[in-house]
Amino acid sequence: KAGVTQTPRYLIKTRGQQVTLSCSPISGHRSVSWYQQTPGQGLQFLFEYFSETQRNKGNFPGRFSGRQFSNSRSEMNVSTLELGDSALYLCASSLYNEQFFGPGTRLTVL
């Protein structure tokens, strides 16, 4: 069974731009969560989607948004990028209690 895939793997943007990251969960998994990982703040929860509905949201500004499609694929968008948004963005898919992570998208904001 294929694992969680995330595209792109690496991204370089400049301040003020916006970015869209994509996540394809494991086949049959309907829940997708997003996390941000930085050296200073560690791993922080962004949001969770289940059956195209946002079920839970972390403490991030409104510049961070997401959505989920009917095939469970998910995208997250960050608008008006700031230097502090440079991070590894990880997506996790789950069916029950196990959450499986993708390889992440490394975003660098210059």
Q: DSSP readout, 9-54?
A: SEEEE-TT--EEEEEEPPTT--EEEEEEEETTTEEEEEEEEETTEE
Q: By C-beta, is 13 or 101 nearer to other proteins?
A: 101
Which H or E element spans position 30?
none
**CB of 16 vs other proteins, minimal distance in Å:** 28
Would you tell me which residues interact with other proteins (CB under 8 A)? Answer: 4, 31, 33, 35, 42-43, 45, 48, 55-56, 58, 90, 92, 94, 97-104
Closer to other proteins by CB, 35 or 109: give it.
Answer: 35
Min CB(82)–other proteins separation in Å? 23
HSE toward the beta carbon, residue 110, CA cutoff 13 A: 4
According to DSSP, the residues that pair with 107 across neighbouring strands are 11, 87
Nearer to other proteins, 79 or 103 (CB): 103
Residue number, 65 or 88, with CB nearest to other proteins: 88
Task: Find the shortest distance in angstroms from Cβ 31 to other proteins.
Answer: 6
Nearest 5°: the CA angle 37, 43, 45 is 105
